[in-house]
C-alpha cells in the first residue's frame, strides 16, 4: 500500500491529535469482530500450549502499545486498538471463548527470549519472517505484507532511495531485516545498530546516522508522533509478518495457522483491516497473504 498508507496515516493523526478522539475507540468495533470469531474445536493435548493457555485463562502476547493503527493504547478506554491488537484479541477468543489477553512489552532484542522462556505465548508485533529468525522462532502465518523503508531528519537532502545510502552511516535495529536490506541495497553503507526503535530514533535525531531503515509500518507510526521525522521513497523490500511462537512448537503453530486460514476464508481478516488500517486507507481490503501448508 506504500505511499498511500503513509500519507493517509499522517493525515489521520494530524487531524485527530490532541482531542479526546485521538485514538479511535475500540469497544464497539471489537465487539462486532468478536461476534463473528470462530471457536477452537480441536483436541486439547495435556501440557500443550493450548492447554496452558486455557488453564491460565488468558493469552500472553509480546507486543507494543504505541503504534497507531496497529497496536495503540486508547487513553479513554484503556483498551488496545489496531490491527495487531485486534488479531491478538480474536486469537484469545478463539482459544478461550473470551478475548482475555495480557500484553508484555517486547523489543527486537527481547522477542525471542520472551518466547524461548515461556514468558509470552505469541509475539504479534510487525514481526518479519526471515530464514535466520526461523532458526530460533516458529512462525504462524504470514498474516500481513509490508516492506523496509527509509526515514531521515526533516530537511535532510540527498537521500531519496536506497541507492543514496551508499557510503553513508545508516541506523538499523539490532536483529532486524533492515540490516540485510541495507547491505544488499547499499553495500558500502556503514551500519550502526541499536536495540529498539526508540533508541534508533534518538540516534537519528542526535546525528549518529544520516538515515534510519526500518519496517514501513513502524516508521509510519513513528512519523505520526514525531514531526522531526520524514519518510523518503517507497518500501524497497517486501516483508511478510508472522505470529511468533516458541521454536519447535509445531502443534501450536498449526493451530494458529488454521485459525488464520479460517479468518481469511470467512472475511474476518478483511473486516479487521477495514476497522483499523482501512479507516484511513481508501479502496478494497487486500487479500491476506497465503499461508504455507
% pLDDT > 70, the chain: 89
Closest by CA position to 68, among listed 150, 129, 4, 10: 10
Q: Is 17 helix (H, G, I), strand (E, B) or coil?
A: coil
Domain boundaries, the chain: 2-146+240-279, 148-232
Q: Stretch 159-185: mean pLDDT, rounded?
A: 95
C-alpha cell at 289: 497473504
Which residue is listed with cell 483498551?
79
> Which value, to the nearest 10 degrees, does the dihedral of the CA atoms of residues 81, 289, 7, 283 take?
-90
Which residue has 534518538 as its cell numbers?
A: 202
* CA distance to 30, 114, 139, 184, per residue, from 99 (Å): 10, 21, 22, 42
pLDDT at 275 over 70: yes
Which of 6-20, 96-110, 201-215 has the lowest average pLDDT?
6-20
Question: 30-40: buried (b, 16+ CB within 10 Å) or exposed (e) per residue?
Answer: beebbeebeeb
Q: Residue 277 and residue 238: Cα distance in Å, rounded?
A: 18
Assign domain 148-232 to its CATH superfamily.
Periplasmic binding protein-like II (3.40.190.10)
Instruction: Report the distance separating Cα 42 and Cα 35, nearest Å.
Output: 20
What is the per-residue pLDDT for 106?
Answer: 93
Identify the DSSP state of 163: G
For residues 236 and 185, the answer to whether their CB atoms sit within 8 Å is: yes
pLDDT per residue over 190-239, tens digit each?
Answer: 999 998 889 999 999 999 999 999 988 788 778 877 889 988 887 899 88
CB-side neighbour CA atoms (13 Å) of 92: 25
CATH of domain 2-146+240-279: 3.40.190.10
The predicted pLDDT at position 22 comes to 38
pLDDT for the residue 5: 56
Asked if the domains at 2-146+240-279 and 148-232 fall in one CATH topology, the answer is: yes
**pLDDT (average), residues 100-114:** 94
* CB-count exposure of residue 75 (10 Å: 0-12, 13-18, 19+): exposed
Amino acid at each position: 500500500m506504500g505511499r498511500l498508507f503513509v500519507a493517509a496515516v499522517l493525515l489521520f493523526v494530524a487531524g485527530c491529535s490532541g482531542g479526546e478522539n485521538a485514538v479511535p475507540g475500540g469497544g464497539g468495533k471489537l465487539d462486532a469482530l468478536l461476534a463473528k470469531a470462530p471457536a477452537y474445536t480441536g483436541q486439547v493435548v495435556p501440557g500443550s500450549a493450548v492447554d496452558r493457555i486455557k488453564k491460565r485463562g488468558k493469552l500472553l502476547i509480546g507486543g507494543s502499545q504505541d503504534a497507531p493503527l496497529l497496536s495503540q493504547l486508547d487513553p479513554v478506554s484503556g483498551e488496545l486498538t489496531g490491527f495487531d491488537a485486534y488479531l491478538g484479541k480474536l486469537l484469545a477468543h478463539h482459544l478461550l471463548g473470551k478475548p482475555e489477553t495480557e500484553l508484555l512489552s517486547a523489543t527486537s532484542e527481547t522477542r525471542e527470549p520472551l518466547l524461548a522462556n515461556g514468558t509470552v505465548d505469541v509475539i504479534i508485533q510487525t514481526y518479519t519472517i526471515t530464514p535466520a529468525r526461523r532458526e530460533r522462532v516458529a512462525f504462524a502465518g504470514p498474516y500481513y505484507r509490508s516492506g523496509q523503508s527509509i526515514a531521515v531528519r526533516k530537511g535532510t537532502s540527498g537521500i531519496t532511495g536506497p541507492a543514496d545510502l551508499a557510503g553513508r552511516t545508516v541506523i538499523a535495529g539490532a536483529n532486524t531485516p533492515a540490516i540485510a536490506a541495507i547491505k544488499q541495497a547499499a553495500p558500502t553503507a556503514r551500519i550502526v545498530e541499536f536495540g529498539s526503535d526508540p533508541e534508533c530514533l534518538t540516534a537519528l535525531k542526535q546525528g549518529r546516522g544520516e538515515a534510519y531503515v526500518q519496517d514501513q509500518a513502524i516508521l509510519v507510526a513513528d512519523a505520526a508522533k514525531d514531526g522531526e521525522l520524514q519518510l523518503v521513497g517507497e518500501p524497497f523490500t517486501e516483508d511478510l509478518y508472522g505470529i511468533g511462537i516458541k521454536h519447535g512448537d509445531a502443534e501450536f503453530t498449526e493451530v494458529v495457522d488454521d485459525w488464520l486460514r479460517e479468518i481469511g476464508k470467512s472475511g474476518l481478516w478483511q473486516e479487521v483491516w477495514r476497522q483499523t488500517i482501512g479507516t484511513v486507507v481508501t479502496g478494497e481490503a487486500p487479500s491476506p497473504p497465503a499461508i504455507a501448508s
